[in-house]
């Protein structure tokens, strides 16, 4: 178990990281000292990776759950809970609200339209989780502290009128996902090789994306191009989409590994 100064020295690459980690550790210390649940704002994949490592170094894995309102959420909050709660109870009590924006059937609104309208209301990005666009509008996860404000003031997106209401998390309406299946072979199961296959890149291009921190493995930025990928792993390339390795097949006569995957655009 590492101390707070040791965690900051080990993980904070810049002042933004230091501020993020300090706030995270503040939430953990408050939970431990006062025995009630605390939560961070929404974390993006890079921030989640930092937070997970900080939780591990602080010995708090059994006291923390990452939750964004639904399974496989990209943006999540870190919930610290006392020992009289289970992870499931903590998630059920999370300060996350689900708002449903409904539009006219003739209007076309994108993720950018909804997010831009929220930012236009001076809502910080960290107050908003995933925005799942579907045929009738969008389901938007927000921190509960801004839900009432948005219900009163969020009436337009992309210059189009919307109707906003709060719905239970269990009533989530999944986004329409343009998902395709694919398969191919790689020389090895290295992350750079598999990412290149899935996203149609050369191996050197995949290595550049990994070096830039744009490739996430199971929701965590992975800086190692030689990290081995396994069946069930999820790979996200920022700006290109996300994928899941669904099966590993046999090996060809030339020693290449067959890979099957599903891929969808972000």
* Span 215-246, pLDDT tens digits: 989 877 788 999 999 999 999 998 788 899 99
Q: For the beta carbon of residue 182, count every other beta carbon within 10 angstroms.
A: 14
Distance of CA 38 to the CA centre of its chain: 19
pTM value is: 0.79
Write down the pLDDT at residue 176: 57
Q: Copy the structure tokens of residue 117.
A: 């309208």
Could you say which residues of the chain have pLDDT below 70?
A: 175-178, 265-266
The SS3 assignment for 204 reads helix
Q: Is 28 exposed, middle or buried (0-12, 13-18, 19+ CB in 10 A)?
A: buried
Q: Copy the structure tokens of residue 121.
A: 């209301």
d(CA 246, CA 202): 22
* H or E element at residue 23: helix 15-34
Write down the pLDDT at residue 240: 85
Nearest to 118 by CA among 56, 88, 173, 75: 75
- 71-89 core/surface letters (b: 16 or more CB in 10 A; e: else): eebbbbbbbbbeeebeeee
Task: Give residues with Cβ within 8 angstroms of 16, minimum separation 6.
Answer: none
Alpha carbon separation from 141 to 100, 188, 241 (Å, rounded): 9, 39, 20
Nearest to 143 by CA among 166, 171, 111: 166
Q: Which residues pair with 184 in a beta bridge?
A: 259
Q: Please report where in the chains the tokens 């948005």 appear, as a residue.
A: 150
The SS3 assignment for 132 reads strand
Write down the pLDDT at residue 178: 66
Write down the pLDDT at residue 177: 60
Residue 150 and residue 123 in contact, taking contact as beta carbons nearer than 8 Å: yes
Q: Residue 161 half-sphere exposure, CB side, CA atoms within 13 Å?
A: 2
Task: Give residues with Cβ within 8 angstroms of 173, minimum separation 6.
Answer: 100, 132, 134, 136, 139
Write down the pLDDT at residue 266: 56
Q: Report angle CA 65, 39, 219 to the nearest 5 degrees.
A: 45
Write down the pLDDT at residue 46: 82
């Amino acid at each position: 178990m590492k101390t707070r100064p040791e965690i900051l020295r080990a993980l904070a690459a810049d002042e933004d990281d230091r501020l993020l980690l300090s706030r995270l550790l503040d939430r953990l210390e408050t939970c431990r000292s006062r025995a009630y649940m605390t939560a961070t704002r929404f974390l993006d994949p890079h921030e989640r990776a930092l937070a997970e490592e900080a939780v591990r170094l602080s010995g708090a894995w059994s006291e923390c759950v990452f939750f964004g309102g639904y399974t496989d959420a990209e943006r999540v909050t870190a919930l610290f809970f006392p020992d009289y709660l289970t992870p499931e109870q903590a998630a059920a009590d999370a300060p996350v609200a689900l708002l449903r924006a409904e539009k006219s059937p003739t209007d076309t609104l994108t993720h950018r339209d909804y997010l831009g309208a929220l930012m236009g209301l001076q809502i910080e990005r960290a107050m908003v989780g995933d925005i799942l666009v579907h045929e009738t509008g969008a389901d938007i996860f927000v921190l509960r502290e801004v839900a009432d404000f948005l219900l009163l003031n969020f009436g337009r997106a992309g210059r189009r009128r919307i109707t906003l209401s709060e719905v239970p998390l269990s009533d989530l309406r999944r986004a329409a996902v343009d998902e395709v299946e694919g398969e191919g072979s790689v020389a090895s199961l290295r992350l750079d090789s598999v990412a290149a296959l899935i996203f149609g890149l050369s191996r050197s291009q995949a290595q550049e994306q990994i070096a830039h921190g744009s490739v996430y493995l199971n929701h965590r930025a992975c800086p190692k191009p030689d990290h081995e990928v396994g069946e069930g792993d999820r790979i996200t390339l920022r700006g290109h989409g996300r994928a899941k390795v669904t099966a590993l097949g046999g090996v060809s006569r030339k020693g290449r590994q067959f890979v099957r995957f599903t891929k969808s655009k972000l």
